[in-house]
C-alpha cells in the first residue's frame, strides 16, 4: 500500500481521537524513517521519546525474537524470570526498592496514585487523600491521570472528573507551600516538564518540594515517563537535583520501542499494596521485560548516556545559534536531548516545513518546538537537522 491508500483506510476505519499528519512510516533504522512511498526522514520525534535507542535496535529486536519462541505471555499469578531480572536492574540503579510493571505511562501513574492513597489511608486515615500536581503537567489519558494533568484542554468534555486533585504553578515553591496541608497525601511532578513546554525548574525547587512533603507527611511522586531513562543525560532526571522520590513512574523509553511501563517505590510505601489491590493482565509479560532488559543494559553500559550529554550540549549550542539569528525565538531550554525552543509565533508552520524537507519535529503548547531525537544520534545528524530548521525558519513570515 502507498501513503494515500493507508490514509484512506485509516480515515474510514479508525476513530478520529488523534490528529495525524499525512505520513505513513513503514520502516525505521536508527534515527531514520521511511514512509510507504519510499521517502526518507530524519526522526527527531522518536515516537515521542519512546525510541531512545533509535528505530529497531538490534539488541532489543534479538531479545524479542528469542523470547517469542520461548514464552510470550503467562499470568502474573506465576513468577516470571525476565520480570524479576528487570526489577533488579531498575532497583539497583535507582533509590527505590520495589517495582510494579504495566503497559504504559498512564497505567504507571494510575498505579502511583492508587499506591499513594492506599499508603496514606493506612498510615494517616481516610482524610488524607489529596494529590497536588503542577500546571502544564502531563500524566496520561486515563480518567484519573488526565485529572492529575494540569491542563484543562485535556479534561474538557470528560467531566465530572475524579475528586481529590489540585494544581499549583510549576517551579513556584510559595504556591505549593500555600496549597499543601493535612489532606495532602502526595505531590506529583515531572522533574522536567516535557509535553508542557520543556520546562526546567530552578535547582533548589525540587529540594524545596521534598522538604514540604516531609514536613506534611506527603509522598513525593516523580513522573519520569518522558524525561527519565537517559533523556536528560542521566539515567533518571531526578539525579540532576539530588532529590529522590518515594514513588517513580517510567514508560516510553523503557522497552526500547516495546510497550511497557513501571512504577517503582520505596519499601515502606510499596508495602501498602497487598494481593488484590492492583494488577495488570499484560503488565510485565516476558516479551516486554526482555525488550526492556536489553534496552536498559544498552542504555546503561553502551555509552548512550555519555552520548546524550555530549551531543545534547552540541545540539543546544546550535539551537542557541538559531535563537541569535531569528528574533521570534524567545528561549532555548532543556537538558540532554530533551530540548525546547520557545517562539513568539506559532510553531506549526515550522513543523510542516521541516516535514516537507525530511525532518520530523513537533510542537507543544503551540509555541514550543520540542526536540526529542534518539539518544544515539551524532553531531552530523544534528547539523543536518539544524540546517533544515534554519532554512525553514528563514522562510517563515512573521508579519
Task: Give mean pLDDT, residues 276-289.
Answer: 96
223 assigned binding-site residue: yes
Q: Is the peptide bond before 160 cis (omega within 30 degrees of 0)?
A: yes
CB atoms within 10 A of CB 368: 21
pLDDT in tens, 126-184: 999 999 999 999 999 999 999 999 999 999 999 999 999 999 999 999 999 999 999 99
**Please, which residues bridge with residue 258 across strands?**
none
**What SS3 class is residue 297?**
helix
Residue 77, domain member (yes or no): yes
Cα separation of 262 and 49, whole Å?
16
289 and 331 part of one domain:
no
Backbone angles phi, psi at 373, to 5 degrees: -75, 170
234 and 320 part of one domain:
no
Lookup: cell for 165: 486533585
Residue 390, domain member (yes or no): no
Q: Does residue 332 carry a pLDDT above 80? A: yes
258 is catalytic: no
Structure letter (DSSP) for residue 30: B
What is the pTM for the complete model shown? 0.97
Q: Are strands 362-364 and 368-371 parallel, antiparallel or unpaired?
A: antiparallel
Residue 109, domain member (yes or no): yes
Q: CA angle, corner 249, sides to 248 and 251, nearest 5?
A: 145
pLDDT above 70 as % of the chain: 100
CB atoms within 10 A of CB 6: 18
131 and 231 part of one domain:
yes
322 and 288 part of one domain:
no
282 is catalytic: no
**Please, which residues bridge with residue 333 across strands?**
340
Residue 272, domain member (yes or no): yes
Residue 17, domain member (yes or no): no
284 and 323 part of one domain:
no
Q: Does residue 265 carry a pLDDT above 80? A: yes
158 is catalytic: no
37 assigned binding-site residue: no
Task: Give mean pLDDT, residues 48-56.
Answer: 97
321 and 200 part of one domain:
no
> The CATH number of the domain where 93 resides is what?
3.40.640.10
188 and 330 part of one domain:
no
280 assigned binding-site residue: yes
317 and 171 part of one domain:
no
Q: Domain residues for 285?
A: 58-302
Task: Give mean pLDDT, residues 198-220.
Answer: 97
Q: Does residue 397 carry a pLDDT above 90? A: no
Q: Which of 129, 222, 223, 266 is catalytic?
A: 223
Give how many domains the chain has, as a whole number.
Answer: 2
Residue 355, domain member (yes or no): no
Q: Which of 252, 258, 273, 371 is catalytic?
A: 252
Q: Does residue 217 carry a pLDDT above 90? A: yes
Task: Give mean pLDDT, residues 61-73.
Answer: 98
192 and 251 part of one domain:
yes
Q: Can you give the pLDDT at residue 399?
A: 63
Greatest Cα-to-Cα distance within the chain, rounded to the nearest angstrom: 63
Q: Which of 44, 138, 165, 170 is catalytic?
A: 138
81 assigned binding-site residue: no
318 assigned binding-site residue: no
292 and 228 part of one domain:
yes
Lookup: cell for 207: 529540594
262 and 329 part of one domain:
no
Contact, 388 vs 354, CB < 8 A? yes
Residue 73, domain member (yes or no): yes
251 assigned binding-site residue: no
Residue 10, domain member (yes or no): no
331 assigned binding-site residue: no
Amino acid at each position: 500500500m502507498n501513503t494515500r491508500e493507508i490514509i484512506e483506510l485509516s480515515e474510514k476505519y479508525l476513530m478520529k481521537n488523534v490528529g495525524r499528519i499525512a505520513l505513513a512510516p513503514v520502516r525505521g533504522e536508527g534515527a531514520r524513517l521511511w514512509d510507504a512511498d519510499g521517502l526518507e526522514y530524519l526522526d527527531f520525534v522518536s515516537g515521542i521519546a519512546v525510541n531512545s535507542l533509535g528505530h529497531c535496535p538490534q539488541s532489543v529486536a534479538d531479545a524479542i525474537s528469542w523470547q517469542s519462541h520461548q514464552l510470550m505471555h503467562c499470568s502474573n499469578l506465576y513468577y516470571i524470570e525476565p520480570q524479576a531480572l528487570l526489577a533488579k536492574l531498575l532497583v539497583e540503579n535507582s533509590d527505590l526498592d520495589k517495582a510494579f510493571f504495566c503497559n504504559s505511562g498512564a497505567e504507571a501513574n494510575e498505579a502511583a496514585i492508587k499506591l499513594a492513597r492506599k499508603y496514606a489511608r493506612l498510615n494517616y486515615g481516610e482524610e488524607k487523600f489529596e494529590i497536588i500536581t503542577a500546571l502544564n503537567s502531563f500524566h496520561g489519558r486515563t480518567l484519573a491521570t488526565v485529572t492529575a494533568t494540569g491542563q484543562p484542554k485535556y479534561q474538557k468534555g470528560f467531566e465530572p472528573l475524579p475528586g481529590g486533585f489540585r494544581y499549583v504553578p510549576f517551579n513556584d515553591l510559595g504556591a505549593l507551600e500555600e496549597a499543601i496541608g493535612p489532606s495532602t497525601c502526595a505531590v506529583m511532578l515531572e522533574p522536567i516538564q516535557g509535553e508542557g513546554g520543556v520546562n526546567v525548574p530552578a535547582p533548589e525547587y525540587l529540594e524545596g518540594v521534598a522538604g514540604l512533603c516531609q514536613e506534611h507527611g506527603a509522598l513525593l511522586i516523580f513522573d519520569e515517563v518522558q524525561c527519565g531513562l537517559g533523556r536528560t543525560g542521566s539515567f533518571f532526571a531526578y539525579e540532576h537535583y539530588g532529590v529522590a522520590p518515594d514513588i517513580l513512574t517510567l514508560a516510553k523509553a523503557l522497552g526500547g520501542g516495546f510497550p511497557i511501563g513501571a512504577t517503582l517505590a520505596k519499601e515502606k510505601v510499596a508495602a501498602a499494596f497487598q494481593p488484590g489491590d492492583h494488577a495488570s493482565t499484560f503488565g510485565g509479560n516476558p516479551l516486554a521485560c526482555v525488550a526492556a532488559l536489553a534496552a536498559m543494559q544498552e542504555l546503561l553500559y553502551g555509552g548512550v548516556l555519555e552520548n546524550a550529554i555530549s551531543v545534547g550540549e552540541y545540539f543546544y549550542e546550535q539551537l542557541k545559534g538559531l535563537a541569535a539569528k531569528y528574533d521570534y525565538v524567545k528561549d532555548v531550554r532543556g537538558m540532554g536531548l530533551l530540548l525546547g525552543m520557545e517562539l513568539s509565533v506559532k510553531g506549526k508552520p515550522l513543523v510542516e516545513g521541516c516535514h516537507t524537507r525530511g525532518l520530523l519535529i513537533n510542537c507543544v503548547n503551540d509555541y514550543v518546538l520540542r526536540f526529542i531525537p534518539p539518544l544515539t544520534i551524532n553531531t552530523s545528524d544534528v547539523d543536518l537537522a539544524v540546517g533544515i530548521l534554519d532554512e525553514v525558519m528563514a522562510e517563515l513570515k512573521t508579519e
